[in-house]
Structure 1
Amino acid sequence: MGAVAVYPGSFDPITYGHMDIIERSARVFDKVIVAVLHNRNKVPLFTVEERMEMIADSVRNIANVEVDSFNGLLVDYVQEKDATTIVRGLRAVSDFEYEMQAASINRKLYPQVETFFMMTNNQYSYLSSSIVKEVAKYDANVEDLVPPIVQRALKEKYRQS
């Protein structure tokens, strides 16, 4: 078995910034698991199952990427999957402090894990799931921000509300 990496997140919804990190990680690691977190501290727009479906559709052409979900501590999930690396995307310096703290506690809890930071492509440095939802709520065009399946899902969600 080769190098396995876990790319965790809420992905509510997945954006082209996330896709950039997934595609590049897939070139570095033998297997990348995109792991959707069941986050009890957030009220998501999409269910975990909906997010997993959108991610799976978006990565269907990347052979070494799989989609899963998890509860609890990330390091427990990483160990369960026999992964050696956690992948995290950084958009700006403001992301670094939080990510450094998370990487430090993960390393304390599971010394064998490494955190692999990737800078997002500059064209996506402003992009977040929150911004996408805010823009989509007002029926603005999000074509350049998210995969087609996410565009459709956002229209449907906001049409219902």
Structure 2
Amino acid sequence: MKRIALFPGSFDPFTKGHEDIVLRGLRVFDEIVIGIGRNASKARYFPLDQMIRLIEGAFRDYPAVRVISYDGLTAHVARDVGAKFLLRGLRNTTDFEYENGISQVNRYIYEDVETVFLITSPHLAPISSSIIRDLHRYGQKIDEFLPYKFEESVNP
């Protein structure tokens, strides 16, 4: 049976820290589905279609990685894509406290799903999507934090 993991998040933007989790996750899973959740009550900074295209490009040499966007509950999406695992990265104890609660609820909704946490590589731990958005918002270059060449022609 194929070990499929869903790696859910807003990925606004997808960072080198996220890439690190996916690449290391490929040592554990046969397939990783990067799921970009859409939240109607939260406006994105970087356009969803742009982020999908950039992430797909970053993983073009990895046929075991695919990218989807979704509405609804992550546990339902995991079940729908055949994932028995949710892959999550942890940078610190604050991330753990937040992710632990979510993992419990996901398991309640879809009892066959297990959440697997990978600790972010130390040199990538300070990187967060919110910090990158702030840097970009105030005119700073962000390419060194991203696993792709950022398309300045498509701005938020």
Please confirm whether the aligned pair reaches a TM-score higher than 0.5, indicating the same fold.
yes
- 2:78 equivalent in structure 1: 78
* Uncovered stretches (5+) of structure 2, i.e. residues with no partner: none
Task: Find the counterpart in structure 2 of residue 152 from structure 1.
Answer: 151
How many Å apart are 1:109 and its aligned residue?
Answer: 1.1
Give deviations 1:21-65, integer Å, cap 9, x for gaps: 111111210000001101123211123222111110111122210
* 1:137 aligned partner, one-letter code: R
Determine the C-alpha separation between the residues in 2 that align with 1:112 and 1:4: 12
State the number of aligned residues: 156
Match runs of 1:24-63 below 5 Å: 24-63=24-63
**Structure 1 position 152, deviation (Å):** 2.5
Could you tell me which residue of structure 1 aligns to residue 137 of structure 2?
137
Compute the displacement of 1:156 (Å): 4.2
Q: TM-score, normalised by structure 1?
A: 0.91
1:139 Cα deviation after fit: 2.3
Identity %: 33
Retained in 1: the 8 A contact 2:57–2:148?
no
Instruction: Supply the AA of the counterpart residue of 2:2.
Output: G
Aligned position for 1:3: 3
**Structure 1 unaligned blocks of 5 or more:** none
The answer (yes or no) to whether the contact 2:34–2:65 under 8 Å persists in 1 is yes
> Comparing both structures, which one devotes a greater share of its residues to helix?
1
Q: In the alignment, what sits opposite 1:65?
A: 65
